[in-house]
Amino acid sequence: MNDSASRATTSEFALDPADAERLANLAGPFDAHLRLLELRLGVEIANRGNIFKVTGAKGAVKRTEKLLHALWQDAGTETLDEPAIHLRLAEAGADRMAQDYAPQDVAIRVKRGTVRGRGANQAKYLHAIATHDINFGIGPAGTGKTFLAVASAVEALNEGRVHRLILVRPAVEAGEKLGFLPGDLTQKVDPYLRPLYDALYEMLGVEKVVKLLEKNVIEIAPLAYMRGRTLNDAFVILDEAQNTSIEQMKMFLTRIGYGSTAVVTGDMTQIDLPRHQKSGLKDAIEVLHEVDGISFTFFESRDVVRHPLVARIVNAYDARDATDVQSGAKG
């Protein structure tokens, strides 16, 4: 980031003509539209009536002022909702703007208290989730990829930004054969989805999770259940994405509708697919790395927030794998 991008400036301007009804339409319920603009554009927006003040990096402030003027005109002739704001942001190239400023500190409020990123990568990850519609969190076990995604999803549900949480995993056996498990289909796939339940219980408490599951506000399902659906106003998490096929990954990413956020998490060192099959996560990294509106956060062993031994274990396996690759190349 250059110095001009990091230096904060302020612009104060009026949106004319003054109109209380138009102002309420622009701001949204509880100023939700303005908060969305702040997150996506990396600025702070304050107003007193139709007098607005925007603070942030110089380029971002100029683009925000231009967008607010355009939205003010729209607000006079149509009812603005969150999908409409997302569409205007996309048309304005908001995701390209996001490169101009440093990640803001994102504090997530859940039942257990306030969750913040530990270290630069987790802070970047939380900010990316708040500002992008599709996000990838990639790295070793214990780096907080799934935990922070679930925390972001729970906060979005609590604040009414989404109406549903959908947590998805591919049902691929991790090296062991579970065989013909007893019970119905839900009971058969539950072992694969247990980590997602555990994260939700920690965020919301068991009783509330059970109630929300009964009302289908929270849905936890194997990836195959996503085919043919369009997911609007939802927060969708695909966990263990390294075990998706290329076709499954494409299918999942194309389910995303208006007002939805998707987070895809995975660990490229824990692929349980047949050796001849390419991981859909690896393919997505290669195909989508330059697509506007999609964020990638890559975690390393130093980002591990579990027992200190976990980071050492990850490093030891990485070193062994690197040695094997070198030996194979020589052979």
Q: Could you read off the pLDDT of 208-230 as tens digits, one per residue? A: 999 999 999 999 888 888 888 88
Q: Which of 100, 118, 153 is the last residue of a domain?
A: 100
Residues 286 and 152 in one domain: yes
Alpha carbon of 70 to those of 34, 73, 74, 87, 258: distances in Å? 14, 5, 6, 13, 21
142, 197, 163, 29: CA torsion to nearest 10: -50
Run of H or E including 19: none
Structure tokens at 197: 């339940």
Residues 153 and 299 in one domain: yes
Residues 142 and 180 in one domain: yes
In one letter, which amino acid is 238?
Answer: L
Residues 81 and 116 in one domain: no
Residues 52 and 138 in one domain: no
Question: 270 pLDDT exceeds 80?
Answer: yes
186 contacts 192 by C-beta, under 8 angstroms: no
Residues 204 and 284 in one domain: yes
152 contacts 129 by C-beta, under 8 angstroms: yes
In the chain, the percentage of residues whose pLDDT exceeds 90 is 38
Measured CA to CA, the distance from residue 168 to residue 222 in angstroms comes to 5
CATH of the domain at 147: 3.40.50.300
In one letter, which amino acid is 187?
Answer: Q
pLDDT in tens, 103-115: 555 666 666 667 7
Residues 25 and 157 in one domain: no
> Would the pTM of this model clear 0.75, i.e. be above it?
no
Question: 284 pLDDT exceeds 80?
Answer: yes
Beta strand extents in the chain (DSSP E only): 8-14, 43-48, 51-57, 108-110, 113-115, 134-138, 164-169, 218-222, 234-238, 261-266, 294-298
Question: 179 pLDDT exceeds 80?
Answer: no
Question: 181 pLDDT exceeds 60?
Answer: no
Domain that holds residue 29: 3-100
- Provide the pLDDT for residue 5: 44
